[in-house]
């Protein structure tokens, strides 16, 4: 049985759908509309009061899982404050840039404690090795090596997971162990437009690589038949503990 709730995340309306297999999807309700309980709005996690409001009544007791993809990047003190607020509001997964460095990630990890999983964003899935070389100001012989290096730094700083493309997932798991959570954006159904993404893979490829969570957006939100796109994704992605769509 499906259970749907609508919410507002940083001013954008989203829908969360859960069903017995445990797959969860976020997508724009203007594309796919479903009925369900309506929680209080989600708002600014950094500076607003009551940034992410809990769900009321029975829906709150069901323990909705919140993935907050803010990609934090600031001085350690500021990031730690933001993480502390997210922790108080029962956020389960929260992103920050691994390029923020060891001190920033260590401060974030201390603020997170054991109550939420931090995810260090390694190299955006929109970037190629050439793009990264432009940013770093040096040659990048292997984008995979750069991703693994940043993942190692994140793990050493106390961060519980990373964000990387499917292409780097198996190397990360092989080098750093299966306990490090890997979240994979850039997921596309076969034949879908890659749009601005440079490193894309299918849900089935993500599964084979060992991804823990898949981030899926336009393959659902811009599909001519979003429900069918969702069905195809769920058919391929039966293993991760969640599928998140933004």
C-alpha to C-alpha distance for 56 and 200, rounded to whole angstroms: 38
3-state secondary structure (DSSP) of residue 216: coil
Catalytic residue among 8, 40, 71, 149: 71
Residue 25: its H or E element: strand 24-27
Considering only CA atoms, which of 192, 193, 95, 101 is closest in space to residue 154?
Answer: 101
| Residue that is written with structure tokens 């599964």 in the block | 207
Strand ordering across the sheet containing 242-244: 67-72, 93-97, 117-121, 161-163, 181-184, 213-215, 242-244
173 is an active site residue = no
Dmax (CA) of the chain: 55
Catalytic residues: 71
């Amino acid at each position: 049985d499906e259970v749907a709730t609508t919410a507002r995340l940083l001013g954008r309306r989203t829908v969360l759908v859960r069903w017995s297999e445990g797959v969860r999807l976020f997508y724009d309700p203007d594309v796919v509309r479903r009925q369900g309980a309506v929680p209080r709005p989600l708002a600014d996690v950094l500076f607003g009061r009551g940034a992410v409001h809990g769900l009321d009544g029975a829906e709150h007791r069901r323990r909705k899982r919140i993935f907050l993809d803010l990609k934090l990047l600031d001085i350690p003190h500021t990031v730690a404050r933001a993480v502390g607020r997210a922790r108080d509001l029962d956020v389960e997964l929260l992103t920050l840039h691994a390029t923020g460095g060891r001190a920033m990630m260590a401060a974030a990890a201390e603020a997170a404690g054991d109550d939420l999983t931090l995810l260090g964003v390694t190299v955006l899935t929109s970037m190629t090795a050439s793009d990264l070389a432009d940013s770093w100001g040096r040659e990048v012989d292997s984008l995979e090596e750069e991703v693994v290096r940043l993942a190692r730094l994140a793990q050493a700083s106390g961060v519980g997971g990373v964000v990387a493309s499917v292409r780097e997932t198996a190397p990360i798991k092989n080098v750093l162990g299966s306990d490090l959570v890997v979240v994979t954006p850039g997921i596309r159904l076969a034949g879908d437009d890659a749009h601005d993404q440079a490193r894309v893979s299918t849900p089935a490829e993500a599964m084979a690589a060992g991804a823990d969570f898949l981030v899926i957006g336009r393959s659902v939100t811009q599909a001519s038949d979003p429900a069918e796109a969702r069905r195809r994704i769920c058919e391929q992605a039966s293993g991760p503990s969640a599928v998140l769509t933004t």
